Structure formats: C-alpha cells, structure tokens
C-alpha cells in the first residue's frame, strides 16, 4: 500500500506517473480512518484540505513533471501541534490555547510547502513539549503502534506513532531534550535532531529556547537526509539560525564508512540500561567494526549532571516563555475581577499539572537568592558538558550510544513519578545541552513483547553529513528498518 512507502519510493512512482498525489494522500487518510481510533496520533486533521493540496500537486506534476526544486512534491507530511501552519489550529496539546488558529506559516512549513509537500494534520504531543510519553496531553494519550498498552515516547509521540503506523509518509517533531530521538527509538523509526542553529524555529512555540530544534521523523535515513536539506538554512526571522551553507545531505550517503572513528562513551553503557537494549547496541557496535569503522572508547565525564542541569535550564526558560499565555493575548480566557485574577484563573484552568510543575520549578531557580545557586551553576555545568563533547570530537567523528535505557514502557507506569520519567531521557539530553546533532535509528527488538530498540549517533556541530553517512551505512547493512508493523 502506498502509505507504507518511503519518500524516495513514492517520488519515483510520482515521477513515472504510476501513482498520483491524490492516491498517496487518500491511502494515508484511509489508514488514519482505520487505525487512529486505537493509536490517537492525530489531534485533528482536515482531509478535504489535504486532498486539495494533493490535487494542486498533481496539476503541477502534469504541467511541469517532477523537477529538482520540489523534492517533496506530492508527499503527505504531518505536523506536531507546536508548529504554526496558516489557518490551522495550534494548541500545543494544551487547553490554554482554546480555539487559536495560526495566522502564518512557520519557516519550516513555508519550506515544506515550497518543496511541494502536502502539509496536513495536528499531531499529538506532551503539553508544550514537556514530557517523555505523550501522556501529558490535554487531548488524551497516544498509544505505541507496536503495543497499544504502551507509550510511544514523547514529547513528539504523535509524530513517531503516525509514521510507525503508516498514517503519513513522514512527520515533523521538535527536540528539546530528546523529544524526536526518544519516540523515534520507541516506535521504530528514524528521528533526527539537527545542530542548534541548523533550522529556523520561527513559528515554533518555544519551550526552552536555548535547546529547542525542529527535525524529521521518517522510515529511513535517506528520507531524513532529504527533509533535513529542505528545512535547513539561515532565516532572518530566527537570530539563532546560523548562516552556514546547506549541503545536499543525500550525497553524503555513500555507504563507505571505512576509517571513520566512532566513540563509545563508557559512562553510557552502565546503570539502568536494560540488558536487551545493551545487547542490541553491542551487536550494532560490532556491525560498525565489520563495516570498517574504528570504535574508540571515550569519556564524557559530566554525564551524571546532565539531567539536573537540563531540568534547571529548561524549566527556567519555560517559565519565561510560557508567561505569554495569560488569557489576554491568545486563546482561552477565564474572566476575573481584575487582571491578576484573570491571569491566575486562566493559567490555573488552562495548564496541565506537568506544565505547572515546570513553571513553578523554573520560577524558583530564577528567583533572587536562588539564581546563582541553581541557574548560573547549571549554565556553568552546561559549558562543561559541551566541552566534554568537543574534546571527544577531537579524536572521533561521531559517538554511538543507546537512544533510551529501556524499550517503551506501559501507559501509566511512570506518570505519577516525575523523576523516573525524567530519567528516561538520560541518553538524549546531553546532545541538546551541547548543541550538537543526533539521530536515532532502529537497531533491534526486545523479545517478549516485541518492541523496537533505538541506536543513537551523535555528530559534531554541523556534522550531519558524517552522522547520516554512518546511520545510512548501518541501515543498509541491517534489516531492522524494513520490519514494519502489521496494522
């Protein structure tokens, strides 16, 4: 079925006119109608609008054929509910935005549309991207397509589940502390977090601005390279985007990784790491050796401080970013006798428990008397964590780790224990603190139940080409990515 294919497979079929964009889009919509009642990856979608975009793509194909300037022509791509798409609802899976509708396209959306993509749907997530399980959504939880009693990961759980369940061809998510890589690992797809500054965040609702990046979920590495190329680049509307040329990432996928050095951090292969996950990563490391890469043990000595550092910096930034949701400027409002009462009633009713917890934590670490002890110290430790990586990258081309310490856990298993939930990000968070790039790709399954396991590769700042080359070579020499869910 068309909805099961990759961007590159569909692009070839569209070019030869074997299929139409309408047929591809309809196959995704049919799959959503069939399975999304169980998975709940989508908060909403507009089928008529998606089909209208598909018809426009088909007209372009008839008139002009396929041309290189539109690498996504006719490909349906679904969007996390945190990115602005003109005239579509934007809720961040929160009640506080009410019936808010975006008035403009985020830069990444403009770029996807210019490349010919059919941009559709609002994918479920943890409220304001705070969480690791997509249970913190005001619209209800998303289920893992491999086992619907389990979480899909988070916060971009809807984005991962929709790709894994073939409800779209690819999707967009965001990654502040692992929110692309962790759900990609738990749902068995490819998830890429670009280097900080590679992609404009204009039109992304900010969670923690010094950490947030937008990235793709795909069925294979080549599709991730294609989407990264389309979305990357400097944007005057996001001053943190960096004016660095955008290479053709698909050209980096040569299959030849001989002589590349891969660092294996000794601090990552210990502690709460599940034995089946460890075994799968050990086998992947051997595979890399077989393919001609050199494995080097490295040390990232400040790893132990990453979670604490992240939860100070991310909550501090969130507490200021979320101040704008006050009942005056956007979305829902609960009236009060005076502005203070209006703010407090609106925010009290509009935000969920995890968002409130983080606003309180963030406000605390920024308050006078505590700023130096927490926030300033966390910034210093962040610098040490970044230095760990930059030092390692003096001797290795990329770093190899598990993406998550365990496979997908049960819905409800960690929802009453925030600390346990925070610990599930142990391998993904440092990458954001360091501002480097990372990708997760399938590297095996647990046995009983059968659940996907993810392998993480971390690359140098703007080292996406080498990282993708390494990911692609592994993928092409294993069959994990071909194991799809029968759903």
| Under rule CB under 6 A, residue 178 binds ligand GLN | yes
The least CB distance from residue 359 to ligand GLN, in Å, is 13
Half-sphere exposure of 56 (CA within 13 A, CB side): 15
Kindly state the smallest distance separating residue 403's Cβ from ligand GLN, in Å: 13
- Cβ-based nearer residue to ligand GLN, 138 or 473: 138
* Rounded CA separation 307/425 (Å): 8
Closer by beta carbon to ligand GLN, 178 or else 362: 178
* Shortest separation between residue 83's beta carbon and ligand GLN, angstroms: 13
DSSP string, 18-50: SS-HHHHHHHHHHHHHHHHHHH--EEE--HHHH
Chain position whose Cβ is nearest to ligand GLN = 179
Q: What φ, ψ does residue 282 adopt, rounded to 5°?
A: -60, -40
Reported as type and span, the H/E element at residue 401 is: strand 398-402
| Min separation Cβ 139 and ligand GLN, Å | 17
Bond before 155 cis per omega within 30 degrees: yes
Q: Residue 32: how many CA atoms within 13 Å on its side-chain side?
A: 26
Structure tokens at 131: 């969480």
Asked if 385 touches ligand GLN (CB under 6 A), the answer is no
- Quote the least distance from Cβ 185 to ligand GLN, whole Å: 13
Among residues 142, 155, 159, 440, which is the contact residue for ligand GLN, using CB under 6 A? 155
Q: How is residue 302 annotated by DSSP?
A: T
Closest distance to ligand GLN from the beta carbon of 294 (Å)? 31
Q: Give 14 or 130: the residue with its C-beta nearer to ligand GLN.
A: 130
- Tokens at residue 108, please? 């990444």
What φ, ψ does residue 299 adopt, rounded to 5°?
-125, 135
- Shortest CA distance to 80 belongs to which of 221, 196, 15, 176? 176
Cα dist. 275→280, 284, 303, 453, 483 in Å?
9, 14, 20, 12, 22
Token pair belonging to 9: 């497979």
Sketch the per residue contact string, 293 through 332, with ligand GLN: x for CB under 6 A, - otherwise: ---------------------x------------------
Nearest residue to 76 via CA among 111, 118, 137: 118
Q: Following CA atoms 147, 76, 31, 1 in sequence, which dihedral angle do they give, to the nearest 10 degrees?
A: -100
Q: Smaller CB distance to ligand GLN: residue 247 or 405?
A: 405
Active site residues: 80, 155, 179
Q: Give the integer Cα–Cα distance in Å for 311 and 80.
A: 23
Residue 220 near ligand GLN by CB under 6 A: no
Binding mask 180-209 for ligand GLN (x = CB under 6 A): ---------------------------x--
Please report, to the nearest 10 degrees, the dihedral formed by the alpha carbons of residues 206, 190, 113, 212 taken in order: 10
DSSP string, 73-104: TT-EEEEETTB--TTSB--TT-STTTT-B-SS
Closest to ligand GLN by CB, 135 or 425? 425
Q: Does the footprint of ligand GLN cover residue 456 (CB under 6 A)?
A: no
Site mask, ligand GLN, residues 112-151, x = CB under 6 A?
A: -----------------xxxx-------------------
Q: Pick from 81, 425, 464, 475: which binds ligand GLN (CB under 6 A)?
A: 425
Minimal distance in Å, beta carbon 70 to ligand GLN? 30
- Binding-site size for ligand GLN (CB under 6 A) equals 14
- Contacting residue, 177, 183, 362, 402, with ligand GLN by CB under 6 A: 177
The one among 53, 134, 142, 176 contacting ligand GLN by CB under 6 A: 176
Query: By the criterion CB under 6 A, which residues form the site for ligand GLN?
Result: 129-132, 155, 174-179, 207, 314, 425
């Amino acid at each position: 079925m068309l909805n099961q294919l990759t961007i590159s497979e569909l692009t070839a079929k569209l070019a030869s006119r074997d299929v139409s964009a309408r047929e591809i889009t309809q196959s995704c919509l049919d799959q959503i109608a069939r399975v999304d009642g169980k998975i709940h990856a989508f908060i909403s979608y507009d089928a008529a609008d998606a089909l209208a975009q598909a018809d426009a793509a088909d007209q372009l194909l008839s008139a002009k054929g396929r041309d290189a300037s539109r690498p996504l022509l006719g490909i349906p791509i679904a969007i996390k509910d945190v990115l602005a798409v003109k005239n579509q609802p934007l809720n961040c899976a929160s009640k506080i935005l009410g019936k808010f509708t975006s008035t403009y396209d985020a830069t990444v959306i403009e770029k996807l549309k210019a490349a010919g993509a059919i941009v559709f749907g609002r994918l479920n997530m943890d409220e304001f991207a705070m969480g690791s399980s997509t249970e913190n959504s005001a619209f209800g939880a998303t289920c893992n397509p491999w086992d619907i009693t389990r979480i899909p990961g988070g916060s971009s759980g809807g984005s991962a589940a929709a790709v894994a369940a073939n409800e779209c061809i690819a999707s967009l998510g965001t990654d502040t502390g692992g929110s692309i890589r962790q759900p990609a690992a738990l749902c068995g797809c490819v998830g890429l977090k670009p280097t900080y500054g590679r992609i404009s965040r204009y039109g992304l609702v900010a969670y923690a601005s010094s950490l947030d990046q937008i990235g793709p979920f795909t069925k294979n590495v080549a599709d991730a390279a294609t989407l990264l190329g389309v979305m990357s680049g400097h944007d005057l509307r996001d001053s943190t985007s960096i004016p660095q040329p955008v290479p053709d990432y698909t050209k980096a996928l040569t299959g030849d990784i001989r002589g590349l050095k891969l660092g294996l951090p000794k601090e990552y292969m210990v502690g709460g790491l599940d034995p089946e996950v460890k075994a799968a990563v050990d086998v992947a490391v051997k595979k890399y050796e077989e393919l001609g890469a050199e494995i080097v043990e490295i040390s990232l000595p400040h790893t132990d401080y990453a979670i604490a550092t992240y939860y100070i910096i991310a909550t501090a930034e969130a507490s200021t970013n979320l101040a704008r949701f006050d009942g005056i400027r956007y979305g829902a409002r609960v009236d009060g006798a005076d502005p203070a009462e209006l703010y407090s009633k609106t925010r009290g009713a509009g935000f969920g428990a995890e968002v409130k917890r983080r606003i309180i934590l963030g406000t605390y670490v920024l308050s006078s008397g505590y700023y130096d002890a927490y926030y300033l110290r966390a910034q210093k430790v962040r610098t040490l964590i970044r230095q760990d990586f930059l030092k390692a990258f003096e001797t290795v081309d990329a770093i190899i780790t598990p993406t998550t310490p365990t496979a997908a856990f049960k819905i409800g298993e960690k929802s009453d224990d925030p600390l346990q939930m925070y610990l599930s990000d142990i391998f993904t968070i440092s990458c954001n603190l360091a501002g480097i790039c990372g990708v997760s790709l399938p590297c095996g399954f647990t046995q009983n139940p059968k659940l996907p396991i993810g392998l993480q590769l971390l690359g140098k700042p703007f080292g996406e080409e080498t990282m993708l080359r390494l990911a692609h070579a592994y993928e092409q020499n294993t069959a994990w990515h071909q194991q799809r869910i029968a759903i």
